[in-house]
């Protein structure tokens, strides 16, 4: 028994009401016409009574058979909607494997296809969320475990005096790693909630690029990667943007380039001037597959877990995209598998340039 507020029952009752009204109109019209033609037909009272009975029986059978057909059609039409309700309940419980069966190519079928596409996106997002939690847990547990071991060694006085500074430097590096991870998580949450504002100002982009590369010197030095800054056309290029957020963009892009480049590889950060300032970061890594190019900006996304470093969480590029979107500045990536990747973005020039 269908509930009174179900779409199938509403559709059935609507069609049934239309059918009943059509029969009533037919009966009235028939009675009026018959009344005007009664004298010329020369019918007896018995024949007239028999005709009325036959008309009543025909109307009843027509209503009954048509009602059955309408009921079956309404059930068939609303079947995909009931299937969508069932699948939606499964998805709400965290089961993203179910899909709606598509048997028609009308508007309901198009809705079912859209619903299945949404379910697939949710399944992918849920998997990325699980991978993200696993990555973050690993990134937090590893430095905490190392620091716990170092602290325990200091408490047990098992660290020789000549190695204490080395151990402290290792603890400092692990602390900075955790701070960066937590800051990235907070920034991503604020960006997605629309709570992060930009404060544009005029600043020297070329100098900022040189400062970022210099700050990351220990990272690319330890990796034995060469990082070059190239600004032949614009040794001092001033732009109009938020310097702190663009610093964050550059750090993420250059760190990615360092992490994905092999030892003794080279990374180039190039600054040029056209209608706007153009910044490109090229690495010597394994490249990005064409099918992954559009998805790398999604949070938690990792194109290939095997090619990422243990410190990667899949949120750096998402932060970059959000910040540049706030600046209304486009960013693109060109990559070939085995030939590295080049990320390029633009910024408006400062008014006085």
- Written as one string, the DSSP assignment of 274-325 is SSSEEEEEE--S----GGGTTTTTSTT--S-GGGS-TT--S-HHHHHHHHHH
Q: Residue 35: what pLDDT? A: 60
Confidence of residue 258 (pLDDT cuts 50, 70, 90): confident
Q: Whole-angstrom Cα distance, residue 17 to residue 180?
A: 67
Confidence of residue 308 (pLDDT cuts 50, 70, 90): very low
Whether residue 247 has pLDDT greater than 70: yes
Q: Residue 4: what pLDDT? A: 45
The whole-angstrom distance between residue 41's C-alpha and the CA centroid of its chain comes to 76
Q: Residue 197: what pLDDT? A: 79
Q: What percent of the chain has pLDDT over 90?
A: 11
- Buried b / exposed e over 182-202, threshold 16 CB at 10 Å, is eebeebbeebeeeebeeebee
Q: Residue 348: what pLDDT? A: 93
Q: Looking up tokens 């849920």, which residue turns up? A: 126
Q: Residue 31: what pLDDT? A: 64
Q: Residue 347: what pLDDT? A: 93
Q: What is the mean pLDDT of residues 103-132?
A: 79
199 backbone dihedrals φ, ψ, rounded to 5°: -125, 85
Whether residue 306 has pLDDT greater than 50: no
Whether residue 86 has pLDDT greater than 80: yes
Q: Of 55 and 187, which is predicted with more confidence?
A: 187
Confidence of residue 168 (pLDDT cuts 50, 70, 90): confident
- H/E segment holding residue 137: helix 107-155
- Mean confidence (pLDDT) of the chain: 78
Q: What is the mean pLDDT of residues 214-226?
A: 81
* Cβ-proximal residues to 305 (8 Å cutoff; 6+ apart), any chain: 131
Q: What is the mean pLDDT of residues 150-167?
A: 86
pTM score: 0.56
Whether residue 48 has pLDDT greater than 70: no
Per the CB < 8 A criterion, the answer to whether 187 and 319 are in contact is yes
DSSP string, 146-202: HHHHHHHHHHTT-S-GGGHHHHHHHHHHHHHHHHHHHHHHHHHHHHHTT------EE
Q: What is the DSSP letter of 352?
A: T
Confidence of residue 175 (pLDDT cuts 50, 70, 90): confident
Number of Cβ within a 10 Å radius of residue 253: 24
Q: Looking up tokens 């056209």, which residue turns up? A: 274
Q: What percent of the chain has pLDDT over 70?
A: 80
Whether residue 83 has pLDDT greater than 80: yes
Summarize pLDDT for 180-214 with one digit per residue, the tens.
778 777 777 777 777 777 889 999 999 999 888 88
Q: Residue 45: what pLDDT? A: 65
Q: What is the mean pLDDT of residues 30-39?
A: 61
Whether residue 147 has pLDDT greater than 60: yes
Q: Residue 158: what pLDDT? A: 85
Q: Residue 250: what pLDDT? A: 92
The whole-angstrom distance between residue 94's C-alpha and the CA centroid of its chain comes to 17
Q: What is the mean pLDDT of residues 45-53?
A: 69
Q: Residue 304: what pLDDT? A: 52
Q: What is the mean pLDDT of residues 125-139?
A: 72
Judged by average pLDDT, the poorest of 165-169, 232-236, 249-253 is: 232-236
Whether residue 1 has pLDDT greater than 60: no
Whether residue 310 has pLDDT greater than 60: no
Q: Residue 342: what pLDDT? A: 92
């Amino acid at each position: 028994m269908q509930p009174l507020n179900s779409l199938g029952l509403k559709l059935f009752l609507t069609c049934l009401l239309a059918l009943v009204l059509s029969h009533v109109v037919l009966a009235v019209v028939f009675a009026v016409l018959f009344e005007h033609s009664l004298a010329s037909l020369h019918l007896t009272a018995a024949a007239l009574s028999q005709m009325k009975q036959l008309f009543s029986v025909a109307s009843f059978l027509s209503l009954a058979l048509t009602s059955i057909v309408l009921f079956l059609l309404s059930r068939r039409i609303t079947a995909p909607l009931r299937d969508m309700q069932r699948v939606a309940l499964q998805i709400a419980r965290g089961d993203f494997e179910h899909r709606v069966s598509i048997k028609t190519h009308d508007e309901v079928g198009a809705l079912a296809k859209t619903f299945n596409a949404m379910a697939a996106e949710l399944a992918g997002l849920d998997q990325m969320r699980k991978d993200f939690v696993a990555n973050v847990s690993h990134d937090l547990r590893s430095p905490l475990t190392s620091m716990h071991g170092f602290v325990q060694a200091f408490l047990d006085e098992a660290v020789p005096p000549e190695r204490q500074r080395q151990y402290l430097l290792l603890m400092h590096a692990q602390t900075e790693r955790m701070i960066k991870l937590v800051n990235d998580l907070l920034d991503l949450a604020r960006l997605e909630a629309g709570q992060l504002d930009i404060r544009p100002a005029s600043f020297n982009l070329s100098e900022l690029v040189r400062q970022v590369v210099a700050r990351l010197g220990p990272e690319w030095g330890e990796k034995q990667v060469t990082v070059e800054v190239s600004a032949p056309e614009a040794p001092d290029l001033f732009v109009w943007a938020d310097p702190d957020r663009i610093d964050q963009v550059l750090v993420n892009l250059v760190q990615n380039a360092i992490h994905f480049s092999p030892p003794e590889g080279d990374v180039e950060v190039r600054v040029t001037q056209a209608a706007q300032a153009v910044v490109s970061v090229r690495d010597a890594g394994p490249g990005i597959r064409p099918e992954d190019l559009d998805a790398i900006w999604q949070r938690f996304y990792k194109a290939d877990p095997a090619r990422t470093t243990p410190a990667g969480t899949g949120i750096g590029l998402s932060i970059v995209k959000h910040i540049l979107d706030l600046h209304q500045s486009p960013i693109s990536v060109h990559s070939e598998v085995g030939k590295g990747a080049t990320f390029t973005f633009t910024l408006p020039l400062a008014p006085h340039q």
